Amino acid sequence: MLRARPKYFEREEAQVVNNANYDILLFDRKIAMAVEGLEPFFDKILRQTLKENALIIAEYINAIKREINVSNGYRKSNIHTLAHLSKFHSNRKNFREMAREDILLYLDSLRKPEASDPLHKWIGTYTLRRGLIVKFFKWLFHPDIESAKRPHPKAVENIPKLKKKRAVNL
């Protein structure tokens, strides 16, 4: 003979379902706010990223929208760079768990051999993404500090800046 489940179990289960639905709704709202005005492609990129990282990216984009009047292009660059950083690590590492070596591995993947890029255009990509990643990690670990006063966390300390090699005019 089966016993009837006590009512408090039903209430707890309903609460868990309500909390899960609320979390999904909150996630959807944060993503929608972050990609508002951008092509649907960027919504798709975030939804294919590790959920924890996608939520952090959305919160970051929404935070910088509040701090400064960011352009759509700047938001696109941030979403693209941060989603690729997550994807580079197979969407298995949360941003908070990433170490300096993880970031350097990603940035080193942008390097191209001399034969395929004789003008060293990859250095511009490296420099842009390095800057976006450093700014992001400073916000991630110190969101309550004013933007200009945020210290570098260990994950982005001493990441080298590269200078473009100048072409010699003959």
Per-domain residue ranges of the chain: 8-156
Cα 8 to Cα 23: distance, rounded to the nearest angstrom: 22
Cα 110 to Cα 135: distance, rounded to the nearest angstrom: 19
Cα 100 to Cα 121: distance, rounded to the nearest angstrom: 24
Banded pLDDT at 13 (limits 50, 70, 90): low
pTM: 0.82
> Taking residues 11-40, what's their average pLDDT?
77
Cα 17 to Cα 13: distance, rounded to the nearest angstrom: 6
DSSP helix/strand/coil, 112: coil
What are 46-71's pLDDT values in tens digits? 999 999 999 999 999 999 999 888 99
* The residue to which tokens 């400064």 are assigned: 68
Token pair, residue 66, equals: 């509040």
What are 101-112's pLDDT values in tens digits? 999 999 999 989
